[in-house]
Amino acid sequence: MRILIIGAAGMVGRRLAERLIADGKLGDDRIDTIHAFDVIEPALASANGVRIEAQAGNIADAQTVNGLIASKPDIVFHLAAIVSGEAEVEFEKGYDVNMDGTRHLLEAIRHVGTGYRPRLVFTSSIAVFGAPFPERIDDEFLRAPLTSYGTQKAVGELLLADYTRKGFVDGIGIRLPTIVVRPGKPNKAASGFFSGIIREPLAGQEAILPVSEDVRHWVASPDAAVGFLLHAGTMDLAQFGDRRSLTMPGLSVTVAEMIDALRRVAGDEVVARIKRAHDPQIAAIVDGWPRDFSARRAEEAGFRADKDFDSIIRAHIADEEARKRAG
Amino acid sequence: MRILIIGAAGMVGRRLAERLIADGKLGDDRIDTIHAFDVIEPALASANGVRIEAQAGNIADAQTVNGLIASKPDIVFHLAAIVSGEAEVEFEKGYDVNMDGTRHLLEAIRHVGTGYRPRLVFTSSIAVFGAPFPERIDDEFLRAPLTSYGTQKAVGELLLADYTRKGFVDGIGIRLPTIVVRPGKPNKAASGFFSGIIREPLAGQEAILPVSEDVRHWVASPDAAVGFLLHAGTMDLAQFGDRRSLTMPGLSVTVAEMIDALRRVAGDEVVARIKRAHDPQIAAIVDGWPRDFSARRAEEAGFRADKDFDSIIRAHIADEEARKRAG
């Protein structure tokens, strides 16, 4: 089978590609080729009989997207996006990539015609929801985004559902929780501290906690995210009927609970590297974010959240050790 | 003030234009010009100092839409759409007009820049909702359309909210109930019989009732629809915050209640012209439609439904008599 990954150089996309290469198959089907696409050419090595075709480009360009679909991939994982903060500042860029890019993809698939109906896994976001919301958001809660990014993802979900209903594609939209622990350097994202307060102390560095410890958030590990994508890529989607976008299961944890888990896994000395420095701006942004979800539909369909936050921390430690060994 | 009506040759658009011309003003402001646009050139006569600029064209063309906005209307009423049945059959045409046309309009307004922020009244539809739904749909119910038309309207609502939030436009989306009694000839729309069973018997003709009398539907009169548009065009929208699309109030009535009202207003002889001929196809379509809404947000903001179905019938009779007098 041939798999196209759009956004294969990103944190989750790269991890998905590496997992598929390591497995050599998806479900029961052997993978012949992974077409790895991103704005920068993804660096992936062929292995286990999986051929890699790496390509750099921009999905805002319809011809580029037509080219991606010309080789008729059996499955498309669409993870590419201008992220929330950038889409808010760069209005046109956000719409060009997040909305038009997704539409170009759907249109390219539709125009192949003659029975071509690939599986399309679209990574959406809990940003499709906007305040005011209940303490716990269920599968029936309305999409009323408060960012351009959330708007573009919500439009993507609507188009995905309509193109699926019309039989052009077999689509599923999965709304990922905030991914914790993100590997790598600290970034400027308002959500960055959720990873930072775990990652930096474990690496022997100080981390700043800009909000109070009772802040509650909805998280999943990078491994859980890859698990969602693989399950979405292979499962029978007919059970979802016409509502094809689902909130993925996650853990609803407070910062205090995250810190307690870090203490259990790594000890007091590590936890002592977390410094409190209240940042009213970040606190205000985080205050507008959803805290908890009931992801019943996804759970009933076999999507699995992380077991607990301790496991997330342990998996991160194992990843970092593997990374060091690989040099 | 200058008013642009897109879709001014349609049933509601034309009625809105005629009302604005008759009033000569909107709210406290004298109307200088009504720019009346549709796929066919709207036939409207200047009066009361209101100049009419009539134009034919297609909002699927971005340059045409830029031209409409170049003269910087103070208020834009956007009623143009490929209707539900046609958008379902003509997939591209529906997206071109209903989704791209609306986006062209928002983009044209954004590109004027320099403080231009007109009021935009967007006519949406209860087709943004799809089954399964509760017996009564409230303002918090999710948008999960089951038609391409409903999808395109839902996307329009999302874009309207985001462009409003970003300060490019002062937008409001109003979801109209099914308009009853539509004047004119019977049409092939699945909802056509709701008007037909009133209009034809009053005109001395037979009408077919293809569903059972316990079918319940959500309706408003043409006058109520014009009232919604005028109110949306003049009211303060800040009260709605970031959720800028509202279900308009209507009457939830069964076919039996409609027929009872017709009997009270026009007598048994008129009602006897309704012939039962069950049509399983139409019955199945209507079965998937919403039956009742709680339009609390709109009601609290001063939008007013018709008093009762008797009034709707009487208003239709008065309209028809006025039409005959006018020749």
Is there a contact between A165 and B146 if contact means CB atoms under 8 Å apart? yes
Q: Can you give the pLDDT at residue A188? A: 72
Range A2-177+221-250+293-306: architecture per CATH: 3-Layer(aba) Sandwich (3.40)
A–B interface: beta-carbon pairs under 8 A: 52
**Confidence band of A185 (pLDDT split at 50, 70, 90):** confident
Please tell me the distance from the alpha carbon of residue B67 to that of residue B108, in angstroms, as a whole number. 9
Q: Does A111 touch chain B (CB under 8 A)?
A: no
Is there a contact between B151 and A130 if contact means CB atoms under 8 Å apart? no
Is there a contact between A158 and B142 if contact means CB atoms under 8 Å apart? no
Q: Which chain B residue lies closest to A88 (C-alpha atoms)?
A: B166
Question: Do the Cβ atoms of B123 and B80 come closer than 8 Å?
Answer: no
State mean pLDDT over A300-326: 96
State mean pLDDT over A264-293: 93
Answer yes or no: is pLDDT of B285 > 90.
Answer: no
Choose, out of B155, B160, B169, the residue to mutate when testing the contact with A (most A CBs < 10 Å). Answer: B155
Per-domain boundaries in chain A: 2-177+221-250+293-306, 178-220+251-292+307-327
Q: Does B128 touch chain A (CB under 8 A)?
A: no
Please tell me the distance from the alpha carbon of residue A176 to that of residue A221, in angstroms, as a whole number. 10
Please tell me the distance from the alpha carbon of residue A32 to that of residue A229, in angstroms, as a whole number. 19
Distance from CA of B96 to the nearest CA of A (A): 13
**Confidence band of B15 (pLDDT split at 50, 70, 90):** very high
Q: Does B146 touch chain A (CB under 8 A)?
A: yes
Q: Can you give the pLDDT at residue A84? A: 87
Nearest residue to B19 via CA among B39, B42, B41, B48: B48
Q: Which chain B residue lies closest to A141 (C-alpha atoms)?
A: B142
Would you list the DSSP string of B241-278?
TT--EEEPP-EEEEHHHHHHHHHHHH-HHHHTTEEE--
Answer yes or no: is pLDDT of A114 > 90.
Answer: no
Q: Does A104 touch chain B (CB under 8 A)?
A: no
Percent of chain A with pLDDT over 90: 91
Question: Do the Cβ atoms of B277 and B210 come closer than 8 Å?
Answer: yes
Helix B11-23 vs helix B222-234: crossing angle, to nearest 10:
60
What residues of A are in contact with residue B141 (Cβ under 8 Å)?
140, 142
Percent of chain B with pLDDT over 90: 90
Determine the 3-state secondary structure of B39 from DSSP: coil
Distance from CA of A327 to the nearest CA of B (A): 45
* Contacting A residues, span 150-189, partner chain B, CB-CB under 8 Å: 151, 154-155, 158-159, 161-162, 165-166
**Confidence band of A248 (pLDDT split at 50, 70, 90):** very high
Facing B140 at nearest CB: one of A142, A158, A243: A142
Choose, out of B103, B158, B168, the residue to mutate when testing the contact with A (most A CBs < 10 Å). Answer: B158
Q: Can you give the pLDDT at residue B74? A: 98
Please tell me the distance from the alpha carbon of residue A230 to that of residue A249, in angstroms, as a whole number. 15
Q: What is the pTM of this model?
A: 0.96
Choose, out of B106, B140, B162, the residue to mutate when testing the contact with A (most A CBs < 10 Å). Answer: B162
CA geometry: angle A10, A12, A17, nearest 5 deg: 90
The more confidently predicted of residues A289 and A32 is A32
Q: Which chain A residue lies closest to B149 (C-alpha atoms)?
A: A162
Q: Can you give the pLDDT at residue A238? A: 94
State mean pLDDT over A39-62: 97
Question: Do the Cβ atoms of A16 and A50 come closer than 8 Å?
Answer: no
Answer yes or no: is pLDDT of A186 > 90.
Answer: no
Choose, out of B151, B152, B157, B168, the residue to mutate when testing the contact with A (most A CBs < 10 Å). Answer: B151
The more confidently predicted of residues A183 and A186 is A183
Residue whose pair of structure tokens reads 């292979």 in the numeric block: A234
A225-242 pLDDT per residue, tens = 999 999 999 999 999 999
**Confidence band of A187 (pLDDT split at 50, 70, 90):** confident
Is there a contact between A144 and B243 if contact means CB atoms under 8 Å apart? yes
What residues of A are in contact with residue B148 (Cβ under 8 Å)?
162, 166
Question: Do the Cβ atoms of A75 and A4 come closer than 8 Å?
Answer: yes
Q: What are A62's two structure tokens?
A: 């319809």
Is there a contact between B151 and A141 if contact means CB atoms under 8 Å apart? no
B123-161 pLDDT per residue, tens = 999 999 998 989 899 999 999 999 999 999 999 999 999
Q: Which long-range contacts (CB under 8 A, 24 or more apart) does B133-139 make?
A: B133/B290, B135/B291, B135/B292, B136/B291, B136/B292, B136/B293, B136/B294, B137/B247, B137/B290, B137/B292, B137/B293, B137/B294, B138/B293, B138/B294, B138/B296, B139/B246, B139/B247, B139/B294, B139/B295, B139/B296, B139/B297
b/e string for B282-304 if b means 16 or more Cβ within 10 A? beebbeebbbbbbbebbeebebe
Distance from CA of A156 to the nearest CA of B (A): 9
Helix A309-326 vs helix A255-266: crossing angle, to nearest 10:
50
**Confidence band of A220 (pLDDT split at 50, 70, 90):** very high
Answer yes or no: is pLDDT of B38 > 90.
Answer: yes
Answer yes or no: is pLDDT of A126 > 90.
Answer: yes
Facing A142 at nearest CB: one of B141, B148, B166: B141
Is there a contact between A158 and B145 if contact means CB atoms under 8 Å apart? yes
State mean pLDDT over B181-206: 92
Please tell me the distance from the alpha carbon of residue B46 to that of residue B299, in angstroms, as a whole number. 34
Question: Do the Cβ atoms of A17 and A3 come closer than 8 Å?
Answer: no
Q: Which chain A residue lies closest to B142 (C-alpha atoms)?
A: A142
B216-263 pLDDT per residue, tens = 999 999 999 999 999 999 999 999 999 999 999 999 999 999 999 999
Answer yes or no: is pLDDT of A285 > 90.
Answer: no
Q: Can you give the pLDDT at residue B194? A: 96
Q: What ipTM, to 2 d.p.?
A: 0.95
State mean pLDDT over A90-103: 98
Q: In what order do the strands lie in the sheet with A33-38?
A: A51-56, A33-38, A2-6, A75-78, A119-125, A170-176, A245-247
Q: Does A92 touch chain B (CB under 8 A)?
A: no
Answer yes or no: is pLDDT of A189 > 90.
Answer: no
Please tell me the distance from the alpha carbon of residue B291 to that of residue B133, in angstroms, as a whole number. 9
Q: Does A243 touch chain B (CB under 8 A)?
A: yes
Work out the burial of residue A113: count CB atoms within 10 Å of its CB; fewer than 13 is exposed, 13-18 middle, 19 or more buried: exposed
Instruction: Please state, rounded to an integer, the average pLDDT across all residues of chain B.
Output: 96
Q: Which long-range contacts (CB under 8 A, 24 or more apart) does B303-307 make?
A: B303/B174, B303/B227, B303/B228, B303/B231, B303/B232, B303/B246, B303/B248, B303/B249, B304/B224, B304/B227, B304/B231, B304/B249, B305/B220, B305/B224, B305/B248, B305/B249, B305/B250, B305/B251, B306/B220, B306/B221, B306/B223, B306/B224, B306/B250, B306/B251
What is the set of active-site residues of A?
Answer: 149
Facing B151 at nearest CB: one of A141, A143, A162: A162
State mean pLDDT over A183-205: 91
Distance from CA of A26 to the nearest CA of B (A): 31
Q: Which chain B residue lies closest to A244 (C-alpha atoms)?
A: B144
Q: Can you give the pLDDT at residue A284? A: 86
Would you list the DSSP string of B79-109?
-----HHHHHHSHHHHIIIIIIHHHHHHHHH
Q: What are A174's two structure tokens?
A: 């999965």
Indicate the fold that domain A178-220+251-292+307-327 takes in CATH: UDP-galactose 4-epimerase; domain 1 (3.90.25)
Q: Can you give the pLDDT at residue B136? A: 94
What residues of B are in contact with residue A242 (Cβ under 8 Å)?
130, 144, 146
Residue B276: how many other CB atoms lie within 10 Å: 10
**Confidence band of B114 (pLDDT split at 50, 70, 90):** confident
Is there a contact between B158 and A162 if contact means CB atoms under 8 Å apart? no
Percent of chain A with pLDDT over 70: 100
Answer yes or no: is pLDDT of A18 > 90.
Answer: yes
Q: Does B144 touch chain A (CB under 8 A)?
A: yes
Indicate the fold that domain B178-220+250-292+307-327 takes in CATH: UDP-galactose 4-epimerase; domain 1 (3.90.25)
Range B2-177+221-249+293-306: architecture per CATH: 3-Layer(aba) Sandwich (3.40)
Q: Going by C-beta distance under 8 Å and a sequence separation of 6 or more, which residues neighbour residue B270? A: B201, B202, B262, B263
What residues of B are in contact with residue A151 (Cβ under 8 Å)?
158-159, 161-162
**Confidence band of B25 (pLDDT split at 50, 70, 90):** very high
**Confidence band of B80 (pLDDT split at 50, 70, 90):** very high
Q: Can you give the pLDDT at residue B150? A: 95
Answer yes or no: is pLDDT of A268 > 80.
Answer: yes
Question: Do the Cβ atoms of B251 and B319 come closer than 8 Å?
Answer: no
What residues of B are in contact with residue A146 (Cβ under 8 Å)?
165, 242
A140-178 pLDDT per residue, tens = 999 999 999 999 999 999 999 999 999 999 999 999 999
Distance from CA of B113 to the nearest CA of A (A): 14
Answer yes or no: is pLDDT of B327 > 90.
Answer: no
Distance from CA of B44 to the nearest CA of A (A): 37
Answer yes or no: is pLDDT of B189 > 80.
Answer: no
Distance from CA of B268 to the nearest CA of A (A): 44
Answer yes or no: is pLDDT of A327 > 80.
Answer: no
The more confidently predicted of residues A99 and B285 is A99
State mean pLDDT over A9-21: 97
b/e string for A35-54 if b means 16 or more Cβ within 10 A? bbbbbeebebeeeeebebeb
Q: Does B325 touch chain A (CB under 8 A)?
A: no
Q: What are A261's two structure tokens?
A: 């888990």
